[in-house]
Each structure stands twice: as C-alpha cells, then as structure tokens.
Amino acid sequence: MKKRIHIFDTTLRDGEQAPGFSMNLDEKVRLARQLELLKPDVIEAGFPISSEGDFLSVKEIAKTVSSCTIAGLARAKKGDIDRAWEALQYAKKPRIHTFIATSDIHMEHKLKKTKEEVLENAVWAVEYACSLCPEVEFSAEDATRTNVDFLCQIVEAAIAAGAKVINIPDTVGYALPWEFGQLVKTLKERVPNMDQALLSVHCHNDLGLGVANSLMAVKNGADQIECTINGIGERAGNAALEELAMAFHTRAPEFDQELSIDTTQLYPSSRLLSDITGMQVQVNKAIVGKNAFSHEAGIHQDGVLKNPLTYEIMTPQSVGLSSNQIVLGKHSGRRALSARLEQLGYSFSKEEMEKVYEAFIAIADKKKIVEDDDLRGLDPSGIDDLSNRFIKETMKEYLNRQ
C-alpha cells in the first residue's frame, strides 16, 4: 500500500499574510468550507494572537470544519499558545503549531538568544502546548540556514517533549532541491526518535523552487507538505497546492505516495480565493491559470482536436474545469477555425473555407483573439441566414473593405 502524504493547507495563515490577501471573518470561513471540499489533512486557520479578527476566524473555522485537522500558529510564548488553544478548543481535531527560529542569523539578530536558550524555549513551548492540545506541531524557523547539528538536536528534543509533527521550513526560499532533499534524509537518519513524529516541510518560492523542493523532500522521506492555494504567501509565496497535487496525480508511477486531495476541487478553490481577494493568478499559472488548458497555435490545436493527450498531460476535468479552450487568433490554423464554425452551425466547401480563413486572419491581426461574435458578425448587420452562400458573400464584402 502506498504511503499517505499529509497535505497541510496554510492559505488562511501564511497565504493571508501576503500583501493584498487579507480576508475578513466571513471570507475566511467561506474559503475554509471550500478547502474542506478539497480535502487537505490540515487547515491552518490563522495566527490567533496576531489580531482579534484572526482569533475569531480560527475559532469560527474550528467550530465549522469537522473533517480536517484545524491548526493555529503560536510563537514559543505562553500568551500565544494560550490564545491559540482558546480558539482551537472547539475543533474536532485541533493542532497547536508552535515555532521558534533556529538559524544563527535569526537567533543573533532577531531573537537575541543563544542556542541553549532557544532549545530551552522550544522544549518548554512544546510541553506546554501538549498540556492543552492533543496534537502539537513544532517548527524550526529558517531551518535550511540552521546548523545541521543544532537542527538535529532541537528536533530530537521537541519530539521527546511531545511534538507529533516536526516542520522543517525553508522560510526564505533559500534551498536548492538536492540540498533540501539531503537535509530531510539527514534528519531521518540522524534523529533517533524521528520515527515518533511526522516530518513536515514548508517551502517558500523565493527562487521559484517551492514545489521542486517539496517533491524532493517527499522523495527523501517527508510525511507532510505545507502549501497554499495559488501558491500565495509571504514575498514570492509558498509551494502551490494545486501544482503539488497534480504532480502526484499526473506522475503517479514516480511516487510511492498518495494524497487525499480531491483534485476536481482545485480550480473551484483557486477561483474562490481570487474572487474573495480580488487577486487574479497570472494567465500562464500552472494548473489553474487561464492559459493552462488553452491552445492558440495551429499545430497544437490540430493535435488537441484529434487527441487531447497530444498536448495535454492532464484533463481539464481532473482539476475541476469542464473543458479545454481552443482560442482563435493569428496563430490558429484552418482545422481549429473549421471546428469552431461547425459548432456555430456553419458548413463550407474547401474553396469557401479558404476565403473564410483569409477573412479570419485579417480580423485576428487586428484583434489578437477572435470571438464567436466576430465570426458571426463580420458585417455590422449580422448574419441572419446561415446558408453557405450568404456567409461567403459576407466574407467577400469584408475582404473587399480591407
């Protein structure tokens, strides 16, 4: 049986921290309900100590969502942990996610603490969180820039203190895939009690490697991936949940692991997030971008119309779209134009089609994308009679005007 990889969705916490992505209580609950349909194992609902709004959101989501574990973030401080538990106590499956920075640069310049003090704080925080909540996750912030010996030491101590999940974040997106994979492998081999906890990874996308690093981590033994819808998050964002899910789905033979994600909810989740925040994904975004299943080039259109597998490695339906899209533009060929005209009820001889195609290209050079109404209405009065003769005459009139 394949190993289950847990998906930890942090859209509502790390994702919402990105400029322009803040959500109010109703919006967060609405998105949480959609995420529940997507079926991640964990939904990190927020950072309760950060604001009253975040606290209320985590509390309401804890009451509303029942099929996923609900996590709340807390620094290694009593006030943070108490506030997180105050919100999470209503969840059917609660998790306190506590963290402290472990890299030299963070300890020296941000925390102004020694390694010994950080280790002591981490152990205390995990033990205290465990006294309140049945499941605790510990994160070593900036793990990829942390001394490996110290990272192994603090991970071992956190597990001994009761942490059920250990998270290794590439907080600033610094790691390269082979480095990150080796780090996961090292922890698996050197931490003696690592088998008593799930090993999680949280990869940022500053170098565009969030998904690649996450996949490499899984290949080297990671048990959980932390990610967000549309890849949103601090700075350049996080590993994109939709890209990870479809990598596992499309390249299944490459993995000895499987996910619980319902991939048909990927596009609806992406669209809902965009609708709520007003922040649209770029058109060429993998999986959920407008162009992900769109084709304009004639060679590609011809192949897709004959067999979608020629240029699509996954079906639109598998991510929640009804179909792909043949976009008519100046790069389109006769095959795509003919197919679209047939859908509109038109039929042409080979000779007529050449004239129609010439008119089509003339429009495409001016408009970039040719819509159905352009095909129907080359003459301002429109086309009432769909006969071949009338359409041919209209096309000729258009060409003569050029």
| pLDDT over 60 (residue 384) | no
Residue 383: what pLDDT? Answer: 35
Residue 400: what pLDDT? Answer: 62
Where does a domain end: 216, 251, 277?
A: 277
Residue 209 belongs to domain spanning: 3-277
- Same domain (yes/no): 221, 333: no
Q: Are 228 and 9 in contact (CB under 8 A)?
A: yes
- Same domain (yes/no): 42, 92: yes
Judge whether 79 lies within some domain.
Answer: yes
Query: How far is residue 354 CA from its own chain's centroid?
Result: 44
Give one word for 96, left, alpha or beta, with left for phi > 0 and alpha for psi -120 to 50: beta
Judge whether 169 lies within some domain.
Answer: yes
- Same domain (yes/no): 386, 243: no
Judge whether 349 lies within some domain.
Answer: yes
- What backbone torsions phi and psi does residue 96 show, to the nearest 5 degrees? -90, 130
Residue 351: what pLDDT? Answer: 81
CA angle 184, 172, 77 (to 5 degrees): 85
- The reported pTM is 0.86
Q: Identify the CATH number of the domain in which residue 111 sits.
A: 3.20.20.70
- Same domain (yes/no): 190, 160: yes
- Per the structure, the count of domains in the chain is 2
- Same domain (yes/no): 27, 79: yes
- Same domain (yes/no): 259, 144: yes
- Same domain (yes/no): 219, 320: no
Judge whether 297 lies within some domain.
Answer: yes
Mean pLDDT over all residues of the chain? 91
pLDDT digits (tens, 9 = 90+) for 301-351: 778 778 878 888 899 899 998 888 767 788 887 887 888 888 888 888 888
Tokens of 125: 């925080």
pLDDT digits (tens, 9 = 90+) for 162-219: 999 999 999 999 999 999 999 999 999 999 999 999 999 999 999 999 999 999 999 9
Judge whether 121 lies within some domain.
Answer: yes
Q: Is the dihedral of CA 300, 295, 399, 401 positive or negative?
A: negative
Where does a domain end: 277, 304, 327?
A: 277
Residue 306: what pLDDT? Answer: 85
Judge whether 285 lies within some domain.
Answer: no
- Same domain (yes/no): 350, 245: no
- Same domain (yes/no): 316, 250: no
- Same domain (yes/no): 74, 193: yes
- Same domain (yes/no): 141, 30: yes
Judge whether 286 lies within some domain.
Answer: no
- Same domain (yes/no): 370, 342: yes
Task: Give CA–CA dist 168/25, Å, rounded.
Answer: 29
**Residue 382 pLDDT grade (very low, low, confident, very high; cuts 50, 70, 90):** very low
Judge whether 126 lies within some domain.
Answer: yes
Where does a domain end: 277, 311, 329?
A: 277
